[in-house]
Amino acid sequence: RHCLPSHRDPDSLNGLSARARNARRPCAASLSSSRQQGVSLSGFLLSTVAVVFSVVVVAKLLPAYLEYYGLAKALQGAAASGDENDSLAAVRARFSRRLDSQYVDSQTVQSQDLSLRTDAGQGRQLVLAYDKQIHMFYNIDALLHFKKNVPFRGTADSEAQ
């Protein structure tokens, strides 16, 4: 792509036709874009710090979320495998047994974190609610709140709630 000749050096192209002058001189836009190459050092360092920070945060938080999905799976399995005559204590016992196969840290959640609530629109629900604190770096911690509701169809004895 060629442009009209610039007015910088008119004497060097005097003997040429207009077409020949245009063919020998590239556009000013292509000259300026050829000078802008690469990323500055400060831009590279800033983007590297942002990427490393994001990777560290994801690496620290991902196990907690994987553990939550394991807990949710154990809760659904414990609630679904019972019958209508099961009490909350029986569901808690099944839930505790299922935690062993889901690679859940024993300090994260206990069977006592499992409760029964009655909602007007959804009926009776098994609710698992817990918090997890994760040390990030220096004096910065992340506090995660997890809550999972599952329909409950068994009977609830009042002393097990």
Tokens standing for residue 34: 């050829």
What band does 8 get if pLDDT is binned at 50, 70 and 90?
low
Q: What contacts 16, CB < 8 A, 6 or more positions away?
A: 24
**For residue 30, what pLDDT is reported?**
54
Residue 130 confidence (pLDDT) above 60? yes
If you average pLDDT over residues 110-133, what whole number do you get?
81
| Mean pLDDT of all residues belonging to the chain | 77
Q: Are strands 123-137 and 114-119 parallel, antiparallel or unpaired?
A: antiparallel
Give the three-state DSSP class for 18.
helix
Torsion of CA 133, 71, 116, 78, to 10 degrees: -160
What band does 3 get if pLDDT is binned at 50, 70 and 90?
low
**For residue 158, what pLDDT is reported?**
39
Q: In which element (H, E) is residue 121 found?
A: none
